[in-house]
Structure formats: structure tokens, C-alpha cells
Amino acid sequence: MSGTSLDGIDIAYCHFTKLDKQWAFQIEKAETLPYSQQWKDELTELCNASSYQLMEVHVRYGRFLGDVVRKFIRKHHLEPDFISSHGHTVFHQPKQKVTVQIGAGSHLAAVSGYPVVTDFRSLDVALGGQGAPLVPIGDKYLFSSFEYCLNLGGFANISFDDESKRVGFDICPLNSVLNYLAEKVGKSYDYNGSIAKNGSINVELLHALNQLPYYSMTYPKSLGIEWVNEYVIPAINAKKLSPKDLLRTFTEHFAIQISNITDRNKGKKILLSGGGTRNEFFVERLRALIGHQLIIPEPNIIDFKEALVFAFLGVLRIRGEVNCLATVTGASRDSCSGAIYSNQ
């Protein structure tokens, strides 16, 4: 799994069992491989590359993933059934029926020596869906004891049951913006939110951000880095504010947007995951605004829940079962999504 915040590649070796229609899981081994600066730069600029450059990186990145996974398997003496790969999102514009995750599955299979399931979003987009978020089916089957599952990654997304139907959507950007602002002071991220905590809220900017049209749209809906570049970066550049004041303002903005979504019923259990869970100041602000019980799980769930769920999506694909919910994405029907590449 590689997210828009470019923290690195999350690799998880997971074991799934199903008994009496109930799924259970165990994350047996997991680690994050940080990106080199070269890969960070390439992946960041890839949306502006030529078609040939895009395809060249698609192949090279797939081979890179294959090598990374092969080393992980050897290091831990593993024997997986297959590799399930999300890849790295370059474009996500479902209205134009475009979603692109690089990391060529054929090359990943060839280099790793194992079958690969990848390209989980394309079929849903072809069926008129958002192609995102895909994690809610994992929330439904693996984390059903929580009323809300909230992932705090490059974007904040949520899933929950609405009138017995599972729904999920992106709420707002998060680490993709906070990390961008932290880089202005030479940090890769704002550790514990300490920079933001010492900043001041700019009320004018906060009001403008809260009025962005996306927030009043009904779900299904999803966000991509293109939306950040079109709406958020200009808002940052229009204000001559210090990085710490920008971080404080955006921290408040994101906490407000999340609290708006979960405001309907107080006292529910919300499972947190993703890198933003480690941002103590952000969680503090979220707790102050929200009327629910925030559950911070064990570190493996915080850091590797998305990798776990994409492994689960691969299991469902191999079994020929639904792994993409139309109630979440808005597609014309549920689907069993993902391309399978044999290593034979």
C-alpha cells in the first residue's frame, strides 16, 4: 500500500480465516519502507509527466515493488499465497472515468515470483462509481464492532452503516496538506502536531475553507490530489501566513469537517487508523469537537489497516466474491474487482 502522503510503502503479511460466515484476521509481519527522496520527487511530479514517462515509471515502480516484497518475504521466511497490491495513485478523476494506480502487476509478479492481484479501482469506475473508498468492505467484515471507522491518512475517509447499508467517502484532505505545510519549515511532517499547536487560527481562511463546495456534496464522493492542487494550494498561497498559523488553521478546519460528518448520533465508538492518529494535537482537537468515543487501536492497526484491507480485497477477488460495494462508490452494481497476474 502506498498513500498520497508519500510516507512510504506499507507491507503487511496477513492471515485470514472464515468460520460460520465470520471473518477473522491476524497481521503477522508488517513494516513500512520509507521512500528515497528520488522516489518522492518522481511520484510527486508524475501527474505532469509525458505519457511515455508515466508508462516507464509504471513498469519501473512495479519492478521496484516486486523487489521490495521479495526481500520482505525472504527476510521473514514467508510463503504467501499471493501478493495484493494497491499501487500508487497518480490520477483520480472518476467523473471523467479516470483512475490510475501505477505499479505494473505483470512486472511485480515476474520480479517477486508470486501471483499478484492489483488494479482494484478501475472496474468500479467503469461501472460509474467513484472507485473509492474501497476500505469500507473491510471495515464491514473485519471491524464490525465499531459504529464508525475513520482513517486519517493523506485524506480523511470514513465508513459506517446508514440504514443497514454500508457507506463510505472521503471527508477532507489531511496529511497530504499538513505534510506539505510542514515541509515549508524543513520537516517531513509535524511531529505530534507541535508546530500547529503553537500557531494561531486565521478566522478568514478557516471560514473560506469550510465553505468549499465539496463539503456540501452528498456521498458517494471522493477526493484526489488534483482537488488539493485546485482548491487548497491556491488558498494557502493567497494568504501570507506563517507555516505554524497555516498548520493551526488547517488542523482546525479538518477537525471541524470530520466532526460535522459524525455529529448525527453521539456516544458511538469510532475506530481511528492511519498516520494522523499519531498527531496528538489533531486528535486532541478532534476529541474536543466530537461527541463520540475515539478508539486508538494497537500500532499495527494504526499503521497497517489499509494494507490489511487491500490484502482482504485480494482474498475476496481470488475467491470470486464481491469486494467493491455500490452503496459506497455509487457504481451501478457491486463488483469483484482486481486484475490477477500469474507468475507462471
The tens digit of pLDDT for each residue in 167-196 reads: 999 999 999 999 999 999 999 999 999 999
pLDDT at site 287: 95
Determine the structural domain holding residue 183 and report its residue range.
136-300
| Overall pTM surpassing 0.95 (yes/no) | no
pLDDT at site 7: 84
pLDDT surpasses 90 at 163: no
pLDDT surpasses 90 at 6: no
pLDDT surpasses 80 at 263: no
Instruction: Please check whether residues 164 and 233 belong to one and the same domain.
Output: yes
Instruction: Please check whether residues 116 and 180 belong to one and the same domain.
Output: no
* Sign of the dihedral through C-alpha 124, 125, 130, 134: positive
Please check whether residue 323 lies inside any domain of the structure.
no
pLDDT at site 27: 98
pLDDT surpasses 70 at 272: yes
Instruction: Please check whether residues 66 and 198 belong to one and the same domain.
Output: no
Residue 45: pLDDT band (50, 70, 90) is very high
Please state the domain count of the chain. 2
Instruction: Please check whether residues 294 and 215 belong to one and the same domain.
Output: yes
Q: In the sheet where 269-273 sits, what is the strand order? A: 165-173, 155-162, 148-152, 269-273, 293-295
Q: Residues 170, 153: contact at Cβ < 8 Å?
A: no
pLDDT at site 302: 96
Residue 267: pLDDT band (50, 70, 90) is confident
Instruction: Please check whether residues 243 and 229 belong to one and the same domain.
Output: yes
Pairing of strands 148-152, 155-162: antiparallel
Percent of the chain past pLDDT 90, that is, above it, reads 94
Instruction: Please check whether residues 203 and 65 belong to one and the same domain.
Output: no
Average of pLDDT values for 246-272? 92
* Omega within 30 of 0 (cis) for the link into 220: yes
Instruction: Please check whether residues 227 and 145 belong to one and the same domain.
Output: yes
Instruction: Please check whether residues 156 and 287 belong to one and the same domain.
Output: yes
Q: In the sheet where 116-118 sits, what is the strand order? A: 83-84, 116-118, 339-341
Please check whether residue 151 lies inside any domain of the structure.
yes
pLDDT surpasses 80 at 264: no
C-alpha cell at 341: 497476474
Please check whether residue 314 lies inside any domain of the structure.
no
Please check whether residue 1 lies inside any domain of the structure.
no
Please check whether residue 309 lies inside any domain of the structure.
no
Please check whether residue 60 lies inside any domain of the structure.
yes
Average of pLDDT values for 243-256? 98
Pick the more confident residue, 266 or 63: 63
Instruction: Please check whether residues 257 and 281 belong to one and the same domain.
Output: yes
Instruction: Please check whether residues 163 and 252 belong to one and the same domain.
Output: yes
DSSP string of 86-117? --EEEEEEGGGTEEEEES-HHHHHHHHSS-EE
pLDDT surpasses 80 at 257: yes
C-alpha cell at 106: 505483470
Cβ neighbours, 10 Å, residue 313: 23
Please check whether residue 215 lies inside any domain of the structure.
yes
Please check whether residue 186 lies inside any domain of the structure.
yes
Average of pLDDT values for 293-312? 97
* Omega within 30 of 0 (cis) for the link into 133: yes
Q: Residues 30, 10: contact at Cβ < 8 Å?
A: yes
pLDDT surpasses 90 at 332: yes
pLDDT surpasses 90 at 4: no
Mean pLDDT of the chain: 95
Cα–Cα dist 311/272, whole Å: 19
* Omega within 30 of 0 (cis) for the link into 80: no
Instruction: Please check whether residues 269 and 185 belong to one and the same domain.
Output: yes
Residue 265: pLDDT band (50, 70, 90) is low
C-alpha cell at 296: 486508538
User: Residue 182: which region, alpha, beta or left (left: phi > 0; alpha: psi -120 to 50)?
Assistant: alpha
Residue position matching grid coordinates 487548497: 232
CATH number of the domain where residue 162 is located: 3.30.420.40
Cα–Cα dist 131/129, whole Å: 5
Cα–Cα dist 92/17, whole Å: 33
Average of pLDDT values for 326-343? 96
Instruction: Please check whether residues 102 and 185 belong to one and the same domain.
Output: no
pLDDT surpasses 90 at 66: yes
